[in-house]
Chains A and B, each alone.
Chain A
Amino acid sequence: MSVGLTRRNLLRVGTVSALGLAGAVALQAQSPVAAQDPTPTVPLAGHSGHSVGAMGIDMPGFMGEIDHTFNGFNPTDILTDFNYGDRVSTLENGQTLREYDFIAGDKDVEVAPGIFYPAWTYNGRIPGPTIRCTEGDHLRINFLNGSAHPHTMHFHGIHPAGMDGVYEVIQPGETFVYEFDAEPFGVHEYHCHVMPLAKHIAKGLYGAFIIDPKQGWPNQAGHELVMVMSGNDIDFDGVNDLYNVNFIPFHYDRHPIKVKVGALVRIFLVNMLEFDLINSFHLHANFFYWHPTGTNLTPSEYTDTIILGQAQRGMLEFTYRYPGKYMFHAHVTEFAELGWTGVIEVEA
């Protein structure tokens, strides 16, 4: 076997294994180069989801796997992880009190296999915990700044000036209690508001803030998913190198989101992208009802693509009629090939 041939085989192994084809292990064993090289070939585990690639097409995507245990969070879990309150009680006036504990911290996060980004986090994860409550609830957020830098929590919603998390900068080691009523219902976000703002957001200090309407959403959902779109400026030049949903690029491309045929899928979509003006969401082989900002029970549009500016968000509802694997991605297509691509696997 000539050197060139070996290299070509190795490359094929690298691609094929990423696509999760059975038998690639045998190929890999044939390549003497693969054994001594830590990165080019991708381990097989957990790659069965690279659906389109499995059809033998070269697809954009990472080499290797991300250590979610090291990161301390997994985007698959974040999709359905709603925090209704660390402590829930009823106030004397009958209002529900939801208390949340938030700690800001500094943490290295593996954003691409082998590449560690010095992130800033709420509760050790990006996006931060998804706050979920009902319109009219009383919220109390106990914030401790455990980071080496000053931070705040700024909620999109209606609240008094002193609770806005802009001028009351919380220094390292200090605490603050944000307290307000949850309104209006809809899909919102919270983020740090210390200057320079773009830096504090891009480093990871943001999360989804969902307020359900008092009477609940009109349709019964089979799946509720949170998707926070953002970018990864890993070399700090003010330009995003990678794009993502829930901070890890290509995650749902490698690990498809499983839903059932005929079940209503509700996505709470938030755009926390910095440095780029717009982001978008496109669903394959289907159409969805779009509720901008989630503040209206009647959808404004029936479409398959929406465009969002920075901090814009909303709610999508759709149902898949046929089983199979369907891509969803930013139709700002360069974002798609730089990480903002996922797969929904519809099961019968």
Chain B
Amino acid sequence: MSTANLPTPQPAPIPPTGLGKTIGMFIIPLVLLAGVIALFFYTNGAGLQVEPAAPIEALTFERTVMRPGEIEFHVRNTGPEALTLAQVIINDSVWQFAANPSATLPRLGQATLTLRYPWVEAEMYAIKFFSSNAVPFETVIDVATTTATTTNRTLLSFTLIGLYVGVIPVFLGMFWLPALRRLGPRAMMFLMALTAGLLLFLGIDATSEALEQAREIGTPFQGIGLAGLGIVVTFLLLDAISRRQSTIGRKESDQRLAVAFMISIGIGLHNLGEGLAIGAAFSVGAAALGTFLVVGFILQNITEGLGIIAPVARDQPSLKNLLWMGLIGGGPAIIGAWIGGISYSQPLSVLFLAIGAGAVFEVAYEIGKLIQKDSTKHPRPVTIFAGVTAGMLLLYVTGLLIK
């Protein structure tokens, strides 16, 4: 038999498909899946003996509010089943608590637990709630202090915090623009690399912060996954926006302006997360926002303003554009401080920090592309190395002041 006689294999004919048929074909595996799950429940684990010897319970302390003579815990049941809180011990003393709406929390349900307790300013308190299955849930108040209540006055102070740590430093940094104009191409390249270094450091820092907080939120919220989601999606979204803009044929100076705006958006998203963290810390009294700390933030964030204007230093950006860039970069710190101060939620905080990280990483990538473009004409690898290193070191050193 000769192979030459064999007919050429034809692609299998595509069966004529109606929409209903397609949907049906998608649904069949789902129906089978439902059947398997039903079987699993019906046979009580299909021989796996999945009943645990002891109940698995988890409780997450999301927020602590302290008023004179009263401590309030906002908790969430992050275990697989409902749980009932039966007793509480505070600093080795069996105490009483009121639960609102109920001491029995459904899965992912929340409750407010209030103790009338004569706590003392600046002292430490260890609190242990016991579920009806004698599972202990512990939390610690490191330094007791009255929680700032949200009044007009604190709204104003949250605004001020945002101004100090976000808006003012960013604008201050932008005042370097006239000075940057005097720089030669090598110095400009150095400056761009420095900005990339700053952004990389900020991104690493925000990622670390997001991952740290991710471990504290309840298992069902999958903190690490949530952080990853925030970083990847933000990065890809900003990347898509920037690519779409660059396909519209424009002058190089316009593209540099676009990059500057991208940087300010990225830094703005980062400052939103930062403002959220500061606002939350302020409202729970965990961080004493001393003068020194605020000065530290101003020092660190002034470099952000520098980063925003670096791509347009050789151009003539309008005052209006500069104003917008500063507001976009610094303003979100105020919004973040409001959100953090008024309704702090740990999962939200993780998400915002991750979005900030993804944003600054993407912006560092944008600057990298600009540097790449300039390098094709005049390669300056040592300048790039020195710039990135200087940028990262700058934030490391200023970070020493505020951490």
Report B126 CB to chain A, min CB distance, Å.
12
Q: Is B37 an interface residue (CB 8 A)?
A: no
Closest to B132 in A: A114
Given contacts A116-B132, A235-B135, contact A339 B103 (CB under 8 A): no
Contact of A39 among B89, B103, B118, B136 (CB under 8 A): B103
A37 with B103: CB separation less than 8 A: yes
In the bound complex, what is the Cα–Cα distance between A307 and B92 (angstroms)? 20
Given known contacts A112-B130, A250-B94, is B116 in contact with A39 (CB within 8 Å)? no
Residue B189, interface by CB 8 Å: no
Tell me the complex Cα distance, A15–B97, Å.
9
Q: Is A117 within 8 A of B134, CB to CB?
A: yes
Q: Mark A50-79, 1 if CB is under 8 A from B, else 0.
A: 000000001011111000000000000000
Expressed in whole angstroms, the Cα–Cα distance for A115 and B132 within the complex equals 5
List the B side residues contacting A42 at CB < 8 Å.
96
- B89: chain A residues at CB < 8 Å are 241, 338
Q: How far is the CA of A42 from the CA of B104 in the complex (A)?
A: 16
CB distance from B101 to the nearest CB of A (A): 7
For the complex formed, measure the closest distance between the CB of A169 and the CB atoms of chain B, giving whole angstroms: 25
Give the chain B neighbours of A196 by CB distance below 8 A. Answer: none
Q: How far is the CB of B115 from chain A (nearest CB, A)?
A: 8
Cβ contacts under 8 Å, B84 to chain A: 38-39, 114
Contact A10–B116 (Cβ < 8 Å): no
- The binding surface of chain A is classed by DSSP as loop
A306 within 8 A of B: no
Which A residues touch B102, using CB under 8 A? 36-38
Whether A18 sits at the interface, judged by CB under 8 Å, is yes
Once the chains are docked, how many angstroms separate the CA of A310 from the CA of B57? 34
Contact A7 B92 (CB under 8 A): no
A338 & B132 in contact (Cβ 8 Å cutoff): no
The 8 A CB mask of A286-297 against B (1 = contact, 0 = none) is 000000000000
Cβ–Cβ contact B134 & A235, under 8 A: yes
> Is B258 engaged at the interface, CB distance under 8 Å to the other chain?
no
Q: How many A-B residue pairs have CB under 8 A?
A: 109
Residues of B within 8 A of A58 (CB): 96, 116-118
Residues in B with CB closer than 8 Å to A133 are none
- A36 partner residues in chain B, CB cutoff 8 A: 101-102
Q: Does B98 contact A (CB under 8 A)?
A: yes
Q: Would you call A179 an interface residue if the criterion is a C-beta within 8 Å of the partner chain's C-beta atoms?
A: no
* Cβ contact within 8 Å between A62 and B87: yes
> Inside 8 A of A250's CB, which chain B residues have their CB?
94
Is residue B99 within 8 Å, beta carbon to beta carbon, of the partner chain?
A: yes
Q: Which of A14, A37, A112, A338 contacts B101 (CB 8 A)?
A: A37
CA gap between A75 and B39 in the complex, in Å: 49
A113 sits at the interface (CB 8 A): yes
Nearest chain-B residue to A6 (Cβ)? B100
B89-121 near A? 1/0 per residue, CB < 8 Å: 100111111111111100000001010111000
Task: Say yes or no for B392: interface residue by CB 8 A criterion.
Answer: no
CB distance A234 to B134 under 8 Å? yes
When C-beta atoms are compared, the residue in chain A nearest to B117 turns out to be A58
Contact of A60 among B93, B132, B134, B135 (CB under 8 A): B93
- Give the complex CA separation of A37 and B111 in angstroms: 11
Asked if B294 is an interface residue, CB under 8 A from chain A, the answer is: no
- Binary flags per residue of B49-92, CB closer than 8 Å to A gives 1, else 0: 00000000000000000000010000000000000111101001
Q: Is the beta-carbon distance between B130 and A115 smaller than 8 angstroms?
A: yes
Contact B95 A116 (CB under 8 A): no
Looking at the assembled complex, report how far the CB atom of A332 sits from the nearest CB atom of chain B, in whole angstroms: 10
> Could you tell me if A40 and B92 are in contact, using CB atoms closer than 8 angstroms?
no
CA distance A62 to B94 in the complex (A): 7
A11, B116: Cβ atoms closer than 8 Å? yes
Nearest chain B CB to A37 CB, angstrom units: 5
Residue of chain A at shortest CB distance from B128: A241
Q: Does A334 contact B (CB under 8 A)?
A: yes
Q: Mark A222-259, 1 if CB is under 8 A from B, else 0.
A: 00000000000011000001100000011000000000
Which residue of chain A lies nearest to B135 when distances are taken between CB atoms in the complex? A235
Residues of the B chain whose Cβ atoms lie less than 8 Å from the Cβ of A339: 94
* Residue-wise interface mask of B (154-178) relative to A, using a CB-CB cutoff of 8 A (1 in contact, 0 not): 0000000000000000000000000
Chain B residues with CB under 8 A of A112: 86-87, 94, 130
- Name, among B100, B102, B134, the residue most crowded by chain A CB atoms within 10 Å (CB to CB): B134
User: Which residue of the partner chain, among B92, B96, B97, B136, contacts A338 with CB atoms under 8 Å?
Assistant: B92
Per the bound structure, the CA–CA distance linking A243 and B360 in Å amounts to 55
Question: Is there contact, CB below 8 Å, between B100 and A7?
Answer: yes
In the complex, are the beta carbons of B94 and A18 less than 8 A apart? no
A39 touches B114 (CB 8 A): no
Min Cβ gap A120→B in Å is 16
User: In the assembled complex, how far is the CB of residue B72 from the closest CB belonging to chain A, in whole angstroms?
Assistant: 8
Complex interface: chain A residues within 8 A of B116 (CB):
11-12, 15, 58
* CB of A33 closer than 8 Å to a CB of B: yes
Task: Pick the contact of A241: B101, B112, B114, B136 (CB < 8 A).
Answer: B136
Alpha-carbon separation in the docked complex, A117 to B131 (Å):
12
Complex Cα distance, B102 from A7, in Å, reads 12
Cα–Cα distance between A60 and B103 once the two chains are bound (Å): 19
Contact with A337, one of B86, B92, B118 (Cβ below 8 angstroms): B92
Report yes or no: B85 in contact with A39, Cβ–Cβ below 8 A: yes
Closest 8 CB pairs of A and B: A114-B86, A337-B93, A234-B134, A39-B103, A334-B92, A40-B98, A11-B98, A60-B93
7 contacts between A and B (CB under 8 A): A11-B116, A18-B96, A58-B116, A114-B132, A235-B130, A242-B94, A337-B94
A interface residue numbers (CB < 8 A to B): 7-8, 10-12, 14-15, 18, 33, 36-42, 58, 60-64, 112-117, 234-235, 241-242, 249-250, 334, 337-339
